[in-house]
């Protein structure tokens, strides 16, 4: 059975981010995927890299090893988090640092990082990244340049070999109405369904 994981990073389990993550996970499950929803705060994921990990050695922490295994075997990856100063929140950033690990998510042709282009090890996978924001699209483009787009699409997912990447931002959450949030949840389900049914 094809598998999917959805990783959400928000401390409040009643947040709109959690609602988005649940919709994506449920949509993929309805399509026949073995879908697992991973709430980084609920599982108490430790975002702090060990010295050994920082030196490129494989993690020996059970929780990290499990996340690496889930990422390696999944066909679909869902990511849900708010925009925090133009970057993922600390818990998500730690998950990225520790789970997209050397020799698990990427390697180098010569076997060492000498500044060469990496070889992605996560080919054949598709990702859906959903972010929430309280910044207008116009201000985001003019003032900040949407750093989250570069982080997820270019610096991480393409770097490690993902074939298909779809990202959407829901804004402005702080002033949104119930009806708007319901529409966004419907769109999130549509994006999840479209990604699952897309061809490589």
Question: What is the length of the chain?
Answer: 200
Task: Assign 109 a pLDDT band (cuts: 50, 70, 90).
Answer: confident
Omega before residue 70 within 30° of 0, cis: no
Q: What is the pLDDT of residues 6-53, one digit of tens each?
A: 999 999 999 999 999 999 999 999 999 999 999 999 999 999 999 999
Distance CA 187, CA 181 (A): 10
> Percentage of the chain surpassing pLDDT 70?
96
Overall average pLDDT of the 108-135 stretch: 87
- Report which of 76, 86, 88, 94 is spatially closest to residue 37, judged by C-alpha positions: 76
- Report which of 45, 69, 179, 190 is spatially closest to residue 128, judged by C-alpha positions: 190
Domain that holds residue 68: 3-197
CATH number at residue 104: 3.40.50.360
The region that residue 44 occupies, defined by phi over 0 for left and psi between -120 and 50 for alpha, beta otherwise, is left
- Half-sphere exposure (Cβ direction) of 124: Cα atoms closer than 13 Å: 8
Task: Assign 143 a pLDDT band (cuts: 50, 70, 90).
Answer: confident
| Beta-bridge partners for 107 | 119
Distance CA 93, CA 138 (A): 26
Q: Is 10 exposed, middle or buried (0-12, 13-18, 19+ CB in 10 A)?
A: buried
Domain tally, the chain: 1
Joined together, the tokens standing for residue 122 give 């996560």
Distance CA 166, CA 35 (A): 18
Distance CA 166, CA 194 (A): 10
Joined together, the tokens standing for residue 60 give 């020996």
pTM, rounded to two decimals:
0.94
Overall average pLDDT of the 102-110 stretch: 90
């Amino acid at each position: 059975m094809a598998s999917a994981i959805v990783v959400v990073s928000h401390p409040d389990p009643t947040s709109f981010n959690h609602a988005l993550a649940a919709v994506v996970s449920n949509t993929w499950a309805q399509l026949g995927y073995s879908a697992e929803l991973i709430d980084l705060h609920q599982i108490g994921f430790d975002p702090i890299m060990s010295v050994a990990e920082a030196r490129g050695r494989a993690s020996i922490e059970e929780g990290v090893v499990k996340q690496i295994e889930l990422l390696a075997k999944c066909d679909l990856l869902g990511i849900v988090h708010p925009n925090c100063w133009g970057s993922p929140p600390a818990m998500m950033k730690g998950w990225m640092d520790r789970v997209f690990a050397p020799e698990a998510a990427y390697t180098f042709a010569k076997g060492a990082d000498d500044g060469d282009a990496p070889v992605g090890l996560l080919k054949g996978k598709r990702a859906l990244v959903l972010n929430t924001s309280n910044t207008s699209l116009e201000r985001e483009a003019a003032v900040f340049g949407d750093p989250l787009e570069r982080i997820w699409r270019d610096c991480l997912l393409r770097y490690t070999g993902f074939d298909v990447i779809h990202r959407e931002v829901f804004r402005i959450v702080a002033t949104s109405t119930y009806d708007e949030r319901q529409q966004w949840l419907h769109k999130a389900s549509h994006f999840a369904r479209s990604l699952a049914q897309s061809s490589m």
